[in-house]
């Protein structure tokens, strides 16, 4: 029998609103993006931003009246909805994500409420440690690093892993307001605050706007608005206890992107544990009135075996639908393959970059050297840098493909010939090799974890080495414990690779006490440290 998922009850001091100050409102107005379109009230953010010095005080009175009287103006609860294609067939409506364009003043109020609520949630550790979405110091990279590390450690111990990537249908749009209200109360929000949120969610309307055409207004009775500031925060509070009763399996969330993975001495045991955990999660989803998308939910198996058994038990939904087994899955923007080679991810990355290169070279005479440099930095390097520490241990052949397109982008900037040596390209543009960039990002990621500027699930993977049994020569150094790894695959896990890299750096750096992050970055750039040749 599956236990009913009752939300965990918060026993500390309840959260209540504090009056907003004029300075807070003024700062929020100045932070507005003037390029954003106006909402249903047709007030341009540009004018609000330039008039911040004059309207901050009256708006402060208005916003404070809203939280005191638990009421929001009706026009602020309306939205223009823009359908954004997520991918797939444009003719299928379910392939679109509805993004709400709210009134700008409503967004300012939401940002002020969000800051106070986040401070309460983070300082009291109310949110699940397994949730990485829309949280300070958390990101898709930290979430993927945690999941991949756990799988690599298990494979190094000669275990097998079964993972389930869960997809929900219209998760944000199916949030039940009555259940959400109950969840907010259980998480420590006062009844006054919950009443304000009840008003925030009630009487909402929306219409589809495309160019200058608008559809009829539709009343919204469920869901939280996508494109709002409070919507994502409310959603992660709504599913905060999704993994509460799951045992014999690990879970991780990034908003509604959920992965469950379990380990076993053989694939059968791993899949059996995964099925039990999946059943618990499905019952919880039913209680939350969230809909599982069985077609897009995928199963992936990780093993050191060269060949999987021909008959492997499959995972099924409560309705009896079998979950498809895949060899590659796009998780949080990363194409993960069941061998963890990251070859599909790199191939897809190179394909995208080559399309950009084609456009660059066709228009290379339209830009100056500095303009081309800024163009590549903004549209090319940002793609290369995203999550590069995850695929930095890919094969040399795969990494060579990325180097090739990177060198081509440098030739676009410099107008050099195809046979120009890469070192000349680096010197002319003033940029390092990609291997150096990746290593710098890797070092900064490790150091942030040491400073506690990463999620606890990353920071807890690093422990300082005891100096009792070591020589006086190294007793003052800040060194980390390096766990034993049996295989080369295990040495790629963050648990092993991060402390190994740090201790190797310490041979030259000899840091006794942690310095600031900016000071660390400055030392990384010092040529005499020669850290990029490790």
- Select the more confidently predicted residue: 134 or 286: 286
What per-residue confidence (pLDDT) applies to 470?
Answer: 46
pLDDT at 533 exceeding the cut of 50: no
| Residue 449 shares a structural domain with residue 415 | no
Of all residues in the chain, the percent with pLDDT exceeding 70 is: 94
Q: Same domain, yes or no, for 442 and 427?
A: no
Query: Is there a domain that residue 384 lies in?
Result: yes
- The mean per-residue pLDDT over the stretch 275-291 comes to 95
Q: Are residues 450 and 485 in the same domain?
A: yes
What contacts 483, CB < 8 A, 6 or more positions away?
A: 495, 496, 499
Q: Which domain holds residue 51?
A: 22-132+177-221
Pick from 393, 413, 431: which residue ends a domain? 431
Residue 13 lies in a domain: no
Task: Please tell me whether residues 441 and 495 are part of one structural domain.
Answer: yes
- Assigned domain for 226 exists: no
Closest among 127, 141, 143, 221 to 177, alpha carbons compared: 221
Helix 422-429 / helix 396-414 crossing angle, nearest 10 deg: 50
- Which one, of 112, 27, 124, lies nearest residue 67 by Cα? 112
User: pTM of the full predicted structure?
Assistant: 0.89
pLDDT of residue 475: 52
Domain assignment of residue 237, yes or no: no
The whole-angstrom separation of Cα 155 and Cα 480 is 23
Q: What are the structure tokens assigned to 49, written together?
A: 């931003």
Show the CA angle centred on residue 439, arms to residues 333 and 411, nearest 5°.
80
Residues 352 and 451 in one domain: no
The 10s digit of each residue's pLDDT in 483-513 is 999 999 999 999 999 999 999 988 888 888 8
pLDDT class of 473 with cuts at 50, 70, 90: low
Task: Answer yes or no: is pLDDT of 534 > 50.
Answer: no
Tell me the two tokens of residue 1.
């029998």
For residues 98 and 149, membership in a common domain is answered with no
Q: State the average pLDDT over residues 323-346.
A: 94
Residue 16 lies in a domain: no
| Range from 8-12, 170-174, 374-378, 492-496 that averages highest in pLDDT | 492-496
How does pLDDT run across 125-171, given as a tens digit for each residue? 999 998 998 888 999 999 999 999 999 999 999 999 999 999 999 89
Which residues fall within 8 angstroms of residue 73, CB to CB, at 6 or more apart? 66
423 within some domain: yes
Do residues 502 and 403 share a domain? no
Residue 491 lies in a domain: yes
């Amino acid at each position: 029998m599956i236990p009913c998922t009752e939300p965990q009850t918060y026993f500390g001091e309840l959260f209540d609103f504090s009056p907003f100050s004029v300075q807070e409102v003024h700062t929020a107005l100045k932070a507005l993006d003037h390029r954003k379109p106006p909402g249903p009230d047709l007030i341009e953010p540009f004018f609000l931003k330039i008039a911040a010095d004059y309207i901050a005080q009256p708006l402060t009175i208005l916003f404070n009246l809203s939280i005191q009287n638990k009421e929001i103006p009706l026009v602020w609860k309306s939205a223009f909805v823009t359908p954004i294609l997520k991918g797939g067939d444009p003719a299928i409506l379910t392939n679109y994500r509805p993004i709400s364009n709210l009134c700008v003043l409503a967004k300012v109020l939401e940002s002020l409420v969000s800051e106070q609520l986040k401070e309460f949630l983070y300082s009291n550790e109310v949110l699940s440690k397994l949730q990485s979405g829309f949280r300070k110091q958390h990101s898709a990279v930290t979430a993927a690093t945690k999941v991949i590390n756990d799988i690599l450690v298990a494979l190094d111990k000669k275990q097998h892993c079964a993972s389930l990537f869960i997809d929900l249908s219209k998760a944000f749009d199916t949030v039940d307001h009555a259940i959400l209200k109950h969840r907010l109360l259980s998480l420590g929000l006062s009844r006054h605050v919950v009443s304000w949120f009840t008003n925030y969610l009630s009487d909402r309307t929306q219409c589809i706007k495309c160019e200058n055409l608008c559809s009829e207004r539709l009343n919204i009775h469920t869901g939280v608005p996508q494109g709002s500031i409070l919507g994502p925060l409310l959603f992660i509070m709504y599913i905060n206890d999704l993994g509460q009763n799951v045992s014999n399996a690990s879970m991780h969330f990034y908003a509604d992107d959920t992965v469950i993975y379990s380990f076993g001495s053989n694939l059968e045991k791993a899949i059996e544990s995964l099925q039990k955990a999946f059943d618990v999660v499905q019952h919880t989803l039913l209680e939350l009135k969230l809909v599982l998308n069985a077609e897009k939910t995928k199963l992936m198996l990780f093993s050191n075996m060269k060949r999987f058994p021909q008959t492997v038990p499959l995972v099924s939904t409560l309705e009896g639908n079998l979950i498809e087994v895949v060899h590659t899955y796009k998780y949080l923007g990363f194409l993960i393959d069941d061998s963890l080679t990251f070859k599909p991810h790199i191939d897809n990355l190179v394909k995208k970059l080559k399309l950009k290169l084609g456009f660059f070279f066709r228009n290379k005479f339209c830009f100056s050297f500095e303009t081309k440099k800024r163009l590549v930095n903004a549209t090319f390097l940002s793609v290369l840098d995203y999550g590069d520490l995850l695929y930095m241990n890919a094969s040399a052949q795969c990494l060579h493909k990325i180097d090739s397109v990177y060198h081509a982008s440098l030739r676009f900037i410099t107008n050099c010939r195809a046979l120009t040596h890469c070192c000349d390209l680096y010197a002319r543009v003033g940029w390092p090799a990609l291997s150096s960039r990746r290593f710098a990002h890797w070092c900064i990621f490790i150091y942030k974890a040491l400073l506690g500027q990463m999620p606890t699930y990353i920071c807890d993977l690093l422990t300082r080495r005891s100096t009792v049994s070591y020589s006086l020569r190294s007793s003052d150094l800040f060194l980390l414990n390096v766990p034993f790894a049996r295989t080369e695959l295990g040495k790629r896990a963050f648990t092993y690779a991060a402390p190994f890299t740090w201790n190797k750096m310490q041979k030259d750096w000899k840091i006794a006490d942690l310095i600031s992050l900016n000071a660390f970055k400055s030392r990384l750039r010092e040529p005499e440290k020669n850290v990029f040749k490790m």
